Amino acid sequence: MADEDTARVRIESNSESAEYELLAIVAELGDTDIESLPPFYEQVDHFVEKIFQNPPAPEAQMEISFSYAGYRIRVTQLGQVTIIPVKESMEDD
C-alpha cells in the first residue's frame, strides 16, 4: 500500500461535531459533497459520537474502525483519524 493514499487527520474529540468533521473529511477525499455520501447512521450508527460522549480512561487507548464510502476509517478516543481507501486496506489482509 502506498502511504500517500493514507490520510491522517485529527478531529475535535467533541461528540457534537466529530461526526460532521469526519464526514467533511471523507467528502473532501472523495471529491464530493457531504450530501452525496451514503447515510452515515445506517452504516455506523452513533459510534463515533459515543466514543467522545463518555470516553474511557486514556490508558484504555480506545479506538473504533469501520468501512464507509469506500474507505477504512479508524478513530481513536483522542480524535486521531486514519483513512485508507478500502481497496488499499484489503490488499494488506
pLDDT tens string 61-79: 899 999 999 999 999 999 9
How far is residue 18's CA from residue 50's CA, in Å, rounded to a whole number? 10
Per-residue model confidence as pLDDT tens digits over 13-58 = 877 899 999 999 999 999 999 999 999 988 888 899 888 888 888 8
Beta-bridge partner residues of 64: 75
Considering its fold, how many domains does the chain have in total? 1
Domain that residue 7 falls in: 3-92
pLDDT in the model for residue 89 = 47
Selected residue with higher pLDDT from 1 and 82: 82
Element (H, E) at 50: helix 47-53
Per-position b or e across 43-55, b if 16+ CB within 10 A of its CB: ebeeebbebbeee
Q: Assess contact for 78 and 13: CB atoms under 8 A.
A: yes
